[in-house]
Amino acid sequence: MRFNHTAHRLDSRHFETVVEMLVGELGFVILRRTERSIWLRQPGGNIDLQFSRSETVNRDADKQRSQISFLSDTPEAALKALAAWAQARGLAAHVGAYSDREFYLDLPEAFVDFVLEAMRPELADYEVKA
């Protein structure tokens, strides 16, 4: 088997806003769309991101441990820019830190079971042996 995509849930009320953020601010392209779901890919990447519309009213209290992770030379600043973008569209946004090199963005009204993480590239410099 080969890894293809990961799937997460977005509150239906904010589904299109989050898709707009990923496409407009992070350069994702839409691969496929159905009534309930969308598949996205960032050019140059090889893993797809699927979002499904959710009517779940409660949020996972431990969702900070479930991330969609990005690499950035300036992770805190990058997430703060996304937070400002979301706030300008009426969404509450919170940027927190796991460490001085790893940060996360939560849009609590929109993200059901995950947060966006940004970390410095050296944290993902893994030695992979084939």
pLDDT of residue 126: 82
Backbone Cα Rg of the chain? 15
Q: What is the 3-state secondary structure (H, E, C) of 101-126?
A: CEEEEECCCCECCCEEEEECHHHHCC
Q: Which fold has domain 5-124?
A: 2,3-Dihydroxybiphenyl 1,2-Dioxygenase; domain 1 (3.10.180)
pLDDT at 80: 98
What whole-number distance in Å separates Cα of residue 4 and Cα of residue 51?
14
pLDDT of residue 127: 81
Domain boundaries, the chain: 5-124
Which amino acid appears at position 48 of this protein?
Answer: D
Tell me the three state secondary structure of residue 84: helix
The one-digit pLDDT tens for each residue of the chain (130 residues) are 988 899 999 999 999 999 999 999 999 999 999 999 999 999 998 889 999 999 987 777 788 889 999 999 999 999 999 999 999 999 999 999 999 999 999 999 999 999 999 999 999 888 877 6
Give the strand pairing for 37-41 and 29-33: antiparallel
Report the alpha-carbon distance of residue 28 to residue 129 in Å, rounded.
30
